[in-house]
């Protein structure tokens, strides 16, 4: 019988971008997801992502059984916060290049917010003024394939981003993920946890991209300090789930098979 995975995407990347990863998890796993986090007016983006977590919990509560929570970047942190509030919705969590923020990390984020420096320590500053409209698909492909973030994408994942990350506008194409929402999510990065992470009695795995600058060694030590925490690494950068979707799916299957037998 197929087991449910609830997937949460990275900031700015609609869930359908990860279609190759989802397909590689079938037929043993069925992937549930929201199209775009942060776009439901019932759950507006606020500081510490309180409403984004409530949005996720709202949908988790509608599932027939506990899920495997898998999240990339933003999505991994959302699952962690949701699990701290409602562990009954989960069987376990995998954070794909999502850091388990330590007390020092959170203090620095809080200070950066107060001093107006948050755009310097998150991608918000680089997102400001970024191009969000294109004449056609070919010009969009040329633009994104030249960006460092997209350069190592699996070709099918880049195609999926062009298919699902853009929408038709009056003149050409424009981004589906609202740029203002994306910036707001970066600027409200949590500096608080709902509860101490050490209280979590679920399996939690953090998977780092080997070339990622987001997850640092101290984040690995932090997740290993959890009661059922694990730390793993896959080739690639911060976007490794879209660079190596088959390898990512293989690791997820291995983790869930082992956890399911525990």
Q: What is the pLDDT of residues 161-197, one digit of tens each?
A: 999 999 999 889 999 999 999 999 999 999 999 999 9
DSSP label at residue 197:
G
* Stretch (H or E) spanning 110: helix 103-114
Tokens of 83: 């699990």
Domain boundaries, the chain: 3-261
- Regarding pTM above 0.75, the answer is yes
pLDDT of residue 148: 92
Beta-sheet pairing, 67-72 with 173-175: unpaired
User: What phi and psi, each to the nearest 5 degrees, are found at residue 166?
Assistant: -125, 155
Statement: residue 126 has pLDDT above 90: no
Q: Whose CA is closest to 38, among 49, 22, 23?
A: 49
CATH 3.40.630.30 at 3-261, yes or no: no
What the block records as the tokens of 154 is 């699996």
């Amino acid at each position: 019988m197929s087991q449910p995975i609830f997937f949460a995407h990275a900031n700015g990347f609609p869930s359908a971008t990860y279609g190759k990863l989802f397909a590689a998890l079938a037929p043993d796993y069925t992937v549930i997801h929201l199209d775009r986090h942060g776009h439901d007016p019932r759950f507006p983006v606020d500081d510490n992502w309180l409403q984004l977590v409530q949005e996720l919990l709202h949908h988790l509560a509608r599932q027939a059984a506990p899920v495997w929570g898998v999240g990339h970047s933003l999505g991994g942190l959302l699952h962690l916060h949701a699990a701290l509030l409602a562990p009954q919705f989960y069987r376990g969590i995998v954070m794909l290049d999502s850091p388990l923020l330590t007390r020092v990390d959170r203090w620095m984020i809080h200070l950066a917010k107060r001093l107006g420096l948050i755009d310097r320590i998150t991608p918000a500053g680089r997102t400001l003024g970024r191009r969000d409209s294109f004449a056609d698909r070919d010009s969009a492909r040329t633009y994104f394939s030249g960006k460092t973030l997209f350069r190592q994408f699996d070709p099918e994942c880049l195609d999926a981003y062009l298919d699902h990350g853009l929408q038709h506008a009056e003149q050409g194409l424009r981004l589906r993920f609202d740029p203002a929402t994306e910036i707001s999510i970066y600027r409200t990065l949590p500096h608080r946890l709902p509860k101490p992470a050490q209280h979590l009695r679920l399996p939690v795995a953090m998977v780092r991209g080997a070339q990622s600058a987001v997850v640092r060694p101290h984040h690995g030590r932090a997740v290993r300090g959890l009661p059922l925490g694990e730390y793993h690494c896959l080739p690639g950068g911060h976007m490794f789930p879209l660079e190596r979707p088959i390898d990512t799916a293989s690791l997820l299957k291995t983790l869930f098979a082992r956890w399911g037998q525990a």
